[in-house]
Amino acid sequence: MLSPTGWWLVTAPIDLRCGMDRLLVHVREILDRNPFDGAAYVFRNRAATRIKVLCCDAQGTWLAVRRLQDGRFIWPSAGASTWSLDPEQFGWLCAGVDWRCLSPKKRLAPRV
């Protein structure tokens, strides 16, 4: 089962025709991170209609693809090369919801 130590969005779009070996090289050389650190790296195409998730664990490498039938994946604006997400935000991202507006710690004021 896929259970990464963290989720990292790669902010710049990439050609998703590439396979896991090219994505591993991208993580190592372009992002300057160790692709075998247990984290999941999420890449998107230019149109933001498809994503690929790359994750390495002790037994091997996972590569998963998701395509939205309608709409686009919500992505952070460029700035940093990667953006960290928690598992709940990643779930919302995969559903096509704007995960940036969600706050798990939001509390309602008591009614008087």
**pLDDT values of the chain reduced to their tens digit, one per residue, 112 residues:** 788 999 999 989 999 999 999 999 999 998 999 999 999 999 999 999 999 999 998 889 999 999 998 889 988 876 767 888 888 888 888 888 888 787 555 444 444 4
Report how many domains make up the chain.
Answer: 1
In this structure, is residue 40 part of a structural domain?
yes
Report d(CA 68, CA 64) in Å as an integer.
Answer: 14
What contacts 5, CB < 8 A, 6 or more positions away?
37, 38, 39
Tell me the residue range of the domain where 32 lies. Answer: 7-101
CA distances from 79 to 9, 92, 103 (A): 12, 22, 22
Judged by DSSP in three states, 19 sits in: coil
67 within a domain of the structure (yes/no): yes
Is this prediction's pTM over 0.85? no
Q: Residue 108 falls within a domain, yes or no?
A: no
